[in-house]
Structure 1
């Protein structure tokens, strides 16, 4: 992993308060690719005792963001579609995002989410919008 990618991974890890609250960590990152993990806690379960769809989408969106910003520019989710394939009951969850296409402003990604048994529980496709702004942001000198 290059120094630039290590810096991006570290920035994600320390500045994404939502991912921290959801217990999501980046395992691997490259331009157009990311792999994350989320240890399941009671806060991730719905009233039926299975992983809440919002928690699954949270790992999807976090993984997308890591894969898209690995190019060193801000990227935000413009559209996303998710299919829940089976109930997630056993953790940890892992997600992998892979870039399908990339233009100057848009990127299309596929994300697969697996449970602790490595069973596919969800698949998503998303479009990321790339901004002309460096990521991580450049610290202004004081």
Structure 2
């Protein structure tokens, strides 16, 4: 883990009520990507007893967002493509983001979300638009 990057983003993490409310934890961050997780709790589940798709997406979008922000700039989600592949009923789901391309104005990040067994449960590609300069 890059302590320098985590320190740089610590204010954002502390101030992000959405992340806290949704139990999202940023585990690791490097310039090339980040890792985050959610421990599945009752409020994470949908009516079928599996982690709600919104929880998957929020985790992946947050992971991808912090992956993009590792360069010290601010980004907003411009668009995404997301695939739900398998339900997760309990335990932890972990998002692993990988920066595919970064330019002056945008960043594209792929994210895989896996369950505790390491099985892929959802995945997406996120396009971010840079709203600040260094």
Q: TM-score, normalised by structure 1?
A: 0.88
Residues of 2 paired with 1:101 and 1:31: CA distance? 11
Separation of aligned partners in 2, 1:2 and 1:43: 31
Structure 1 contact 12–66 (Cα < 8 Å) conserved = no
Alignment match, 1:137 = none
Alpha-carbon offset, residue 7 of structure 1: 1.8
Contact 2:27 2:36 in 1 (8 A): yes
The equivalent residue for 1:44 is 44
Instruction: Please give the root-mean-square deviation of Cα atoms over the aligned residues, in Å.
Output: 1.3
Q: CA deviation at 1:133?
A: 4.5
Shift of 1:13: 2.5
Residue 90 of structure 1: CA displacement? 2.7
For residues 94 and 80 of structure 1, what CA distance do their matches in structure 2 show?
18
The offset of 1:83, in angstroms, is: 0.4
CA distance, structure 1, for counterparts of residue 47 and residue 6 of structure 2:
38
Alignment-derived partner of residue 88 in structure 1:
88
Which structure 2 residue ranges, 5 or more long, are not aligned?
Answer: none
Q: Is the 8 A contact 2:41 2:90 kept in 1?
A: no
Bigger Rg, which one = 1
Distance 2:32 2:130 in 1: 12
Per the TM alignment, residue 6 of structure 1 is displaced from its structure 2 partner at its CA by 2.6
Moved over 2 A (4+): none
Shift of 1:22: 0.7
Which runs of 5 or more residues in structure 1 are unaligned?
135-142
Write the distance in 1 (CA, Å) between the matches of 2:117 and 2:74. 34
- Counterparts of 2:3 and 2:117, CA distance in 1: 31
In structure 1, the partner of 2:62 is 62
